[in-house]
Each structure stands twice: as structure tokens, then as C-alpha cells.
Amino acid sequence: MNQANIQTRVATAGLEEDIEQAVRDFAMYLTESEEFQAFEIAAQNLRQDMEAQEAIRAFQEKQSSLQMMLMLNAVSPEDRQELERLQQAFIAHPTVAAYLQAQEDLTAVCQTVAQMLNESTGLSFSAACGPGCC
């Protein structure tokens, strides 16, 4: 192995350590952020709220039963109205609303950090993510 290869490996190892440390720092920052803490609490509250869980389940069951008809845009006005009513019922539930707001706030933080990473590295992290990514 020549000196150039050794220098490249040493530089790469140092870069990898810097990246690993940056990832650890980011993870620590994120888990200690108000937004993450609020999201964790909201998620726990949602899991424990049986009324909210029932509202979600009712909507999902109706949506699942109409899935094929929805894809074909052939749902009756009555079924569409019932589906919308069930959706509004679960979205309006205070525990669900708090969860959705906490999720939105956390997503905004992740998007801000991703933008900062994009600008500082010249890489597009959002392009590497699939649907549902920050």
C-alpha cells in the first residue's frame, strides 16, 4: 500500500468518525428537543386513549371496506358522507388532534435540520428519502 492510499484511508476514517459523532449529536439533540418530547407524550396519550383508538378503528374499518370503490371513484354519496363523518370524528378528538400537531411540529424540526445538512454538505437528504420521510 502506498502513502497516498494510507493518507486516503486515514482521512476517510477521520471523516467517518466525524460523521458518526455528528449523527450521535443530532440524535441527542433531537431526543432532547421540546418537539420530540411533546411527540412522545402525545403518542403515549393516543395509545392509551381507548375512545380515540375506537374512533380511528371505526374510520379505518369503513375506509378499508370501501377501498376498492374509492379507487374506482364509485362510492355512493351516503358512504362517502359516512366516511367523512368518521374521519372528522377521529381528527376532532382532542388526543388525536394533539398527536397530529406534535407530529407536524416534529416534522418541521426534522425538515429544518435536513435543510441545514443539505446546505452544509451539498447533499440532498430529502432526495434520498422515500415518501413519509422528513
Q: What is the pLDDT of residue 22?
A: 73
Whether the CB-CB separation of 95 and 49 falls below 8 Å is answered with: yes
**Residue type at 85?**
R
Query: H/E element holding 11?
Result: helix 3-32
CATH superfamily of 32-121: YheA/YmcA-like (1.20.1500.10)
Domain ranges of the chain: 1-31, 32-121
At residue 24, the pLDDT reads 80
Cα torsion through 59, 36, 18, 120, rounded to 10: 80
Kindly tell me the number of DSSP H helices and DSSP E strands found in the chain.
7, 0
pTM confidence score: 0.71
Q: What is the pLDDT of residue 134?
A: 54
* pLDDT value at residue 16: 72
Stated as kind and residue range, the H or E segment containing 30 is helix 3-32
Does residue 123 sit in helix, strand or coil? coil
Tens of pLDDT, residue by residue, the chain (134 residues): 555 544 455 455 566 777 777 778 778 888 889 999 999 999 999 999 999 999 999 999 999 999 988 889 898 999 999 999 999 999 999 999 999 999 999 999 888 877 877 776 666 656 655 555 55
* Structure confidence at residue 132 (pLDDT): 55
